Amino acid sequence: MIKLLIVDDHEILREGLKRILNSETDMEVVAEADNGTQALKLISEIDCDIVLLDLNLPDRNGIDLIADIKKKKPKTQILVLSICPEKKYAIPAFRRGALGYLNKDSALTELVTAIRRVQSKKRYMSMSLAEQLAFETNADNDRVQRSLTSLEGKIMLLIAGGKENKDIAKELTLSITSVAQYRRKVLEKLRLKNNVQLTHYAFENNMI
């Protein structure tokens, strides 16, 4: 059972999330908080696997709160669920310790998938964020710009963001075989061996 703590100052949203998540056979919302102070107190008192965290809280900076939560409970994973612009806030959230970032606009369609990815200790980001990062990577990172095509760069960022080959294939209208071939080309060009190294490379080069 995946135990969840919801941290959001909007009661209506919390209730909606609880209905969605408690309807899943492998998920349970065990607690909720409407501010950062309460969230930190609960983290010390309860056993939870994942914190669903809004960044807009009345008493705390959400990005800083991520680091505080990870300090108290390093094994607890954090999935940011926010209306804050992904392009501006996702990378700082990842660097502070969040494992996933999901915009509230896409929460209904992606939330359960994102939670399961984060529970498996795999990074999750939305397709739109991965596309933005891929575009900026091709424009700003000289090494990647020289070695990867635009499509290869996009697929690289999607893989680093935790997407499976089948999901990438569906979103980019490619066959799973083609995605696997592009992945192999990316690994060869960057002299990497696997997805773990690819994700590390993306972080080291400030791509995610």
pTM above 0.85, yes or no: no
Cα separation, 32 vs 138, whole angstroms:
41
- Domain 128-204, what architecture? 3-Layer(aba) Sandwich (3.40)
Q: Give the pLDDT of residue 122.
A: 86
Chain-centroid distance, C-alpha 122: 8
Domains 2-125 and 128-204 agree in fold: yes
User: Average of pLDDT values for 199-206?
Assistant: 77
Can you name the CATH fold of 2-125? Rossmann fold (3.40.50)
List pLDDT tens digits, range 134-146: 655 544 455 554 6
List pLDDT tens digits, range 90-113: 888 988 999 999 888 777 778 999
Q: Give the pLDDT of residue 198.
A: 87
For residue 19, the one-letter residue type is R
Q: Give the pLDDT of residue 132.
A: 66
Q: Give the pLDDT of residue 182.
A: 93
For residues 161 and 123, is the Cβ–Cβ distance under 8 A?
yes
Domain ranges of the chain: 2-125, 128-204
Q: Give every CB contact of residue 85 below 8 A, 6+ residues apart in sequence.
A: none
Q: Give the pLDDT of residue 180.
A: 94
Buried b (16+ CB within 10 A) or exposed e, 27-58: bebebbbbbbebbbebbeeeebbbbbbbbebe
